[in-house]
Chain A
């Protein structure tokens, strides 16, 4: 417990507090009046309003499109289901920068729709909403579908026999059982879209800005720290509220439901209606998830084969955008992500172990606290690192470890979420059985707990790796110019004009996508339980 707490205190609470303090203090006096000042400004109000309604709209749209998908994945058996399940999960671990780039390639200037019909959506809110659906489809399919697959269909049958119509049975029996999972998924989607940064940064243009983008703009471009601090706190409060509600729904979900093996509940679809539903879901997956990824790959190949990829290998071809060849970003990213994964596993693993062993209000609070990095402005964390970790005893400004540390912060919640259910599920009596057979406590842990948890540990590592790989908001501040990571390099390329830069951004995004997809597909092979929380 001590290690995770210390980690969060030093690398999360301290930097965030420091930067908020710097923004809100003048001559050692807290200036709370700045709240009123900042929040009264019309452009800030616009940002708040936009952040809220786009998050609500994204959540509603995601549920609308993904709930039928959750049903299909839960209750239908069809060839290629496993692969498709992995495919729809790919977007979730994709870096936001790649998602933004993919949609730019689909909907933007010179994008596929532009080529075909002259339609451009990149300056409209639709591009953002669709990208958010793309990104969060898997959250709903996994959280809701995972539970749905384990609900015993015989409960509905019992209701039917008692005289309920098919719809009434669903509404009275299945829906109440699913409701907490739907609520939890919706809250997660809301959280991710409310704090959306990379996607909006790339697709939003000057017209649309979420809180997180505005914090970045105020911090990095306008150097208006007071405004950024106020916005950070506003976002902090909002995220805290969302997480509180989320923790509550998760706890409600834990109430006893009669769960069965998912393999028993899936049937081949029968009848025109079910085939149509399956078809509809497959088409929506194709259009929404596969198409953007395919277009991204297509654009990266451009008209000239591998030219863009070749250009990535030299620093000179980029006329000063980089100090090094962009291709080196791959090595940097992998190195950072590996270290970040290690840190996240140690910190998250210890936290999960502590949470398993203890119970009570305090521990639940800590549980919720671990989720905070998911929602607190990564930009603030990144900038906070720069201003706090620059003096002894913790002078890390010039150290490469700074980047993995920031990335690990985002990885820890995933590790905890993945490990916790598995650790909690290890039956204490298995340990007792081992003890009676002559195993000392340490031996019992090694022989019983470790093998059971190993898979979850691998899955957690994969998630942490993918998330670290794609981390953008904090890394963009602290990655040094001669050591860019993949997302940072992509963003930098997109920031320049010219076809070569654009093509190289597509090419780098493709590489990043492939790395993430491969790590995820490896995970899907070892993943056993499908009721994870993401």
Chain B
């Protein structure tokens, strides 16, 4: 469906996209994940034709899109802040793309009603756009993007401006909807939760380059680099030297899974792999802040050497703040990351 071949976009000296290769298959939902400024919005604008490429190619269904203007690419794009037309009502917003493609009056009305039904706003045709809530605007924007049946639907921070509970509900609805319609989707977001809930495949970007590609589970289980690990919210990353099944770190010796690559690397220890015991065994730490997370407690530990450690405890076994404890590590929850990048 969509192929990017070493796509490059520069703003002045800075490369917003730096030789990005990307492949999106038919009916696939791909989520581009990255911090702000990593080039993900530029990626969408490039595919849509709103941004000129400084190098590389964009192919849709095998056709090079160079020189094809935006309005002839047959794509759907949902903008970050929706960009609904303020002077048109909901129905006219949804019908806009159909009208541009020369659909008849009856066809438009039928399709608009169908789509508003689909996004959960039946009968909202005559409502003013300004009178909609954030969630409703998002639904209308989605209906508008879907109406002309685009071959590829692109979403820019689709749920960015909504509050947390609504976001969590909508992301599930969206995935179900796209699955039912068989829509090919390329979405960008900075929220890992959103990306993992929505996507078949996740592309993590950093400073205009692809840092990792994989299924949500793969990326979550085996982050490809310290950057990806930190971006996913894991802060227990230290420099290490691996020898056999043990790594030498600032925290002392940490066990690693059998078959890990040898030599200098970065080491990730998931909070679940930090075991808290009595002060006489393992790395000695002082217990810092504790945050209740529903089913478990996140504990910050200040070790006698090395950086701060995040640990996960059950509600029962949580130590008191200021308590002295000893820490051991679980090899199955440690991941050896390539040292570079």
User: Which residues in A have some Cβ–Cβ distance to B below 8 Å?
Assistant: 427, 429-430, 432-441, 443-444, 447-448, 451-452
Contact = CB atoms under 8 A, between A and B. Distances in A.
A436 B85 contact: no
B83 A427 contact: yes
B42 to A, nearest CB: 13
A436 B144 CA distance: 11
Contacts of B251: none
Contact of A440 (B71, B74, B88, B96): B71
A448 B99 CA distance: 14
Contacts of A427: 83
B258 interface: no
Contacts of B97: 437-438
B87 A439 contact: no
A441 to B, nearest CB: 8
A390 to B, nearest CB: 48
B87 A437 contact: no
A441 B48 CA distance: 15
A203 B315 CA distance: 88
A8 to B, nearest CB: 33
Interface in B68-92: 69-77, 79, 83, 85-88
A444 B99 CA distance: 12
A303 to B, nearest CB: 53
Given A439-B100, A452-B86, A429 B71 contact: no
B132 interface: no
B71 A436 contact: yes
Contact of A443 (B50, B83, B86, B100): B100
Interface residues on B, range: 20 to 34
Contact of A430 (B85, B144, B145, B148): B85
Contacts of A448: 85
Given A437-B97, A437-B144, A438-B97, A432 B70 contact: yes
Given A438-B100, A440-B69, 17 more contacts: A429-B83, A432-B48, A432-B70, A434-B85, A434-B96, A435-B69, A435-B71, A436-B70, A436-B73, A437-B97, A438-B71, A438-B97, A438-B101, A441-B69, A447-B85, A451-B87, A452-B86
B80 to A, nearest CB: 9
Contacts of A434: 85, 96, 100
B51 to A, nearest CB: 10
Nearest to A444: B71
Contact of A437 (B50, B69, B86, B148): B148
A436 B48 contact: yes
Interface of B: 48, 50, 69-77, 79, 83, 85-88, 96-97, 100-101, 144-145, 148
A435 B83 contact: no
17 contacts: A429-B83, A430-B85, A432-B48, A432-B70, A433-B77, A434-B100, A436-B50, A436-B75, A436-B76, A436-B77, A437-B71, A437-B100, A437-B144, A437-B145, A443-B71, A447-B96, A448-B85
Secondary structure of the A contact surface, majority rule: helix
Contact of A439 (B71, B77, B88): B71
B148 A432 contact: no
Contacts of B75: 436
Nearest to B82: A433
7 A-B pairs closest in CB distance:
A438-B100, A437-B97, A435-B70, A433-B83, A436-B77, A451-B87, A435-B71
A452 B87 contact: yes
Contact of A435 (B50, B74, B85, B148): B50
Contacts of A439: 71, 96, 100
Contacts of B85: 430, 433-434, 447-448
A439 B96 CA distance: 9
A443 to B, nearest CB: 7
B45 to A, nearest CB: 8
A447 B50 CA distance: 18
B83 A430 contact: yes
A440 B83 CA distance: 17
A442 to B, nearest CB: 10
A64 B173 CA distance: 60
A197 B150 CA distance: 63
A9 B173 CA distance: 62
Contacts of B69: 435, 440-441
Contact of B148 (A429, A438, A451, A452): A438
B106 to A, nearest CB: 19
A76 to B, nearest CB: 25
A157 to B, nearest CB: 25
B112 to A, nearest CB: 13
A327 to B, nearest CB: 42
Nearest to A448: B85
A452 B85 CA distance: 9
Contacts of A444: 71
A451 B86 CA distance: 10
A436 B76 CA distance: 6
Nearest to A433: B83
Contacts of B100: 434, 437-439, 443
Nearest to A443: B100
A436 B100 CA distance: 10
A181 B86 CA distance: 28
Contacts of B148: 437-438
A446 to B, nearest CB: 11
A421 to B, nearest CB: 16
Nearest to B92: A447
Contacts of B74: 438
B76 to A, nearest CB: 7
A429 B96 contact: no
Contacts of B50: 432, 435-436
A427 B87 CA distance: 13
B225 to A, nearest CB: 33
A181 to B, nearest CB: 26
B79 A433 contact: yes
B84 to A, nearest CB: 8
A435 B70 CA distance: 6
A256 B79 CA distance: 24
Contacts of A435: 50, 69-71
Residue of A437, A441, A443, A447 ringed by the most chain B CB atoms within 10 A: A437
Residue of B69, B70, B96, B97 ringed by the most chain A CB atoms within 10 A: B70
A232 B144 CA distance: 59
Nearest to A434: B96
Contacts of A430: 83, 85
Contacts of B76: 436-437
Nearest to B101: A438
A451 B73 CA distance: 25
B79 A437 contact: no
